[in-house]
Structure 1
Amino acid sequence: MSTAVAVVLLIALVMYAVFGGADFGAGFWDLTAGGPERGAAPRGLVERSIGPVWEADHVWLIFIFVVTWSAFPAAFQSITLTMFVPLAIAAFGIVLRGASFAFRKTVVTVRVRRVFGGLFALSSVLVPFCFGAIAGGIASGHVPAGGEAGDPVGSWLNPTSLVTGGLAVVLAAYLAAVYLVRNARRAGDSALALYFRRRAVVSALAAAAVAVIGFVVLSASAPYVFDRLTSWALPPVVLSVLSGFGALVLLIRGAPRGARVLAVVAVACIILSWGIAQWPYLLPVTTTVSAAAAPSGTLTALLVAVGLLVLIVLPGFVLLYVLDQRRLLPGEGVEDAADRAVDTEAG
């Protein structure tokens, strides 16, 4: 039963990486878009693209935390006691990002709007880095077993954590760029489609480079995970490489729809390979999934709750994403009074 819960948790991690990660990546491109005039068009597309879904995507994160502390309480205690610094930074960044994204649409002065835009973009980079650093710290054995606290600094500021944090940022930027190519094409803006296609190609190459560096670092700092990545978890690793290469080819050839599917597969396989490589450990190499699991009654109740969640909540998510992809949510991303006021002031 603990295995079933662990599989559910891994699937939730994949979903958050694919959907929430793309939202954070859009913030990265907001940060690097340039000045007010040069960056106006890319930022406008970013705002219109993530507006309908940016709040909903964090439901996956809440689900991950609830499942972890309910099903694996001792491991959750160790992780939170050790990683409280990056977790606090990530939580603050999520709140700051959401507030900045909402407020920058309503303020009427250019200066204040730039401040909120900068906070939104910076926090969009900071949050995935912290989550990636936490994953790297867990994989490299910096979280002790038994609900004990580890080093609050070295646990997430170490070579493995820094590389995985950087990989998380680059992968988020890559996913966002691929999605935005498709959105620009749907909007009939060929210039923006080319703009984000170039950035998708660059970020794909950067992700490949960081992943190679990560393998080298893992071989020294996390030998158990590295050995499993090159054996049991090798199939999803190979699938990730092939999908990433296929997405790159399609991006270069101007086929964003197929590239988007392959990009999602590539990123999802990275998360899956990490989960398989750690198995059967929740905290390598001290705490197995079965040893960290809560009593069977708790796990049964949790799986029942997950089943109800799939039946009641998941259809709403599917409907939201379908309406968004079909551009049937006109209330998001439309011009408001603040937009007109800023245009008047700038003119």
Structure 2
Amino acid sequence: MHPEWILGGVMVAALVLYALLGGADFGGGVWDLLASGPRKKEQRELIEKVIGPIWEANHVWLILVVVLLFTAFPPAFAAISIALHVPLTLFLLGVVFRGSAFSFRSYDSRKDRRQKRWGFVFSLASVIAPVLLGMIVGAVASGRIRVASGVVTSGFFAPWLSVFPLMVGLFALALFAFLAAVYLTNEATEPALVDDFRRRALVSGGVVAALALASFAASFEGAPLIREGLTDHPITWPLHLTTGISATAAFFGLWTRRFRLARFAAAAQVTLILIGWAASQYPFLVVPDVTLAGAAANPRTLRLLVWILGVGFVLLFPSLYLLFRVFGSGRAGAATDGAGAHEEE
């Protein structure tokens, strides 16, 4: 296998992990903003408890994607960072404001008005950042970023300020919110809180389906090459089928209160969506002018990166396992007990 294929696959896998972990944290911020009803305070406390200990570690996957893109595929990195420097900068600001606000809110006085303001900043940034991230992905896939002789010729606003990137951004927001709600049904131990997030998961799952159709409809004009990849590529139809099965299983698990099934199925749904996007875009890194093979760095550099990744993963995965084991085992056990109680009912 060519090293650029391996590194491209690692970037897709890292994006999947970022969506499953960091994306769910963004979704938690969405539900923090939309907390309502008599248990509004308890909803926010559960969200803070769940994402608090380990949420910053989830950004390691996005950092890995950026480093690999910069090192292994420098022409693609240059095209994306130049054409999309405005939404990329806004996204990074959103991540910084979100992290700072979450920390200040967590350690500030609970009765202080400023604590509520920090909570609003955290929630608002959690909504804006995933929309921008989705718009960046939509712009890369749209074919509106044009590169001639290594120079971006399409401007700094036209590629991402159009209907298709906006639809993808809203789709990403809804998908992260759905994933977070499903996770929170597993994390909550009080039946009333479980029901709160179960309802939110069902509603947001319906919004995900609607926005998926809207994004596909927008792709006919906004991203024709991706639309062809979604419909004509031989591997995409099996992916569509398995994605549909996963989505159906997630709804079935939520409806019948089999929350562990819903969590597994929702994670599979998100994974398959991202793999389907990557398959439909192949062989392009930036549609339509930058390909995986054309943007690859020197073969010696690529081979060295593959070896470095192998050594790095030996160190990274045990560390992350220990982190999740130490800070997540207690909550996971409680969540399983809570889900099991509902299943018995």
TM-score after normalising by structure 1: 0.91
Aligned partners of 1:76 and 1:147 also within 8 Å: no
Question: How far, CA to CA, are the matches of 1:30 and 1:148 in structure 2?
Answer: 42
Between 1:313-322 and 1:78-87, the stretch displaced more is 313-322
| Residue of structure 1 in register with 2:302 after alignment | 299
1:281 partnered with 2:280: no
| Residue of structure 2 in register with 1:255 after alignment | 258
Aligned partners of 1:75 and 1:147 also within 8 Å: no
Between 1:175-184 and 1:140-149, the stretch displaced more is 140-149
Aligned amino acid, residue 5 of structure 1? L
Q: How many Å apart are 1:203 and its aligned residue?
A: 0.5
3-state SS of 2:106 partner: coil
Aligned amino acid, residue 216 of structure 1? A
Aligned partners of 1:133 and 1:161 also within 8 Å: yes
| Residue of structure 2 in register with 1:44 after alignment | 45
Between 1:245-254 and 1:148-157, the stretch displaced more is 148-157
| Residue of structure 1 in register with 2:58 after alignment | 57
C-alpha distance after superposition, 1:208-239 (max 9, x if no partner)? 00001111111222121111111322222221
Q: How many Å apart are 1:52 and its aligned residue?
A: 1.5
Question: How far, CA to CA, are the matches of 1:196 and 1:110 in structure 2?
Answer: 27
C-alpha distance after superposition, 1:166-208 (max 9, x if no partner)? 0010000000000000000xxx300000000000000001000
3-state SS of 2:232 partner: coil
3-state SS of 2:151 partner: coil
C-alpha distance after superposition, 1:2-23 (max 9, x if no partner)? 1111111111111111111000
Q: How many Å apart are 1:121 and its aligned residue?
A: 0.3
| Residue of structure 2 in register with 1:164 after alignment | 168
**Which of 295, 308, 311 is residue 308 of structure 1 equivalent to?**
311
Structure 2 gaps of 5+ residues are 333-345
| Residue of structure 2 in register with 1:224 after alignment | 225
| Residue of structure 2 in register with 1:333 after alignment | none
Aligned amino acid, residue 304 of structure 1? W
Aligned partners of 1:31 and 1:118 also within 8 Å: yes
Question: How far, CA to CA, are the matches of 2:89 and 2:30 in structure 1?
Answer: 20
Q: How many Å apart are 1:323 and its aligned residue?
A: 3.3
Aligned amino acid, residue 238 of structure 2? P
Between 1:145-154 and 1:223-232, the stretch displaced more is 145-154
| Residue of structure 2 in register with 1:4 after alignment | 6
Structure 1 residues 210 and 236 mapped into 2: Cα distance closer, same or farther (>3 Å)?
A: same
Aligned amino acid, residue 145 of structure 2? V
3-state SS of 2:107 partner: coil
1:237 partnered with 2:237: no
Aligned amino acid, residue 40 of structure 2? G
| Residue of structure 2 in register with 1:132 after alignment | 134
3-state SS of 1:271 partner: helix
Larger % of helix: which?
2
3-state SS of 1:33 partner: coil
3-state SS of 2:55 partner: coil
Aligned partners of 1:138 and 1:284 also within 8 Å: yes
1:115 partnered with 2:117: yes
Q: How many Å apart are 1:288 and its aligned residue?
A: 1.3
C-alpha distance after superposition, 1:282-334 (max 9, x if no partner)? 112222100010010111111111111110111111222233442179xxxxx
Aligned partners of 2:11 and 2:68 also within 8 Å: yes
| Residue of structure 2 in register with 1:17 after alignment | 19
| Residue of structure 2 in register with 1:151 after alignment | 155
Question: How far, CA to CA, are the matches of 1:69 and 1:238 in structure 2?
Answer: 34
Question: How far, CA to CA, are the matches of 1:325 and 1:245 in structure 2?
Answer: 28
The number of residues matched between the two structures is: 325
Aligned amino acid, residue 21 of structure 2? F
Q: How many Å apart are 1:38 and its aligned residue?
A: 4.6
Aligned partners of 1:142 and 1:151 also within 8 Å: no
Aligned partners of 1:26 and 1:177 also within 8 Å: yes
Please provide the CA RMSD for this pair. Answer: 1.5
Question: How far, CA to CA, are the matches of 1:127 and 1:302 in structure 2?
Answer: 30
Structure 1 gaps of 5+ residues are 330-347
| Residue of structure 2 in register with 1:32 after alignment | 34
| Residue of structure 1 in register with 2:336 after alignment | none
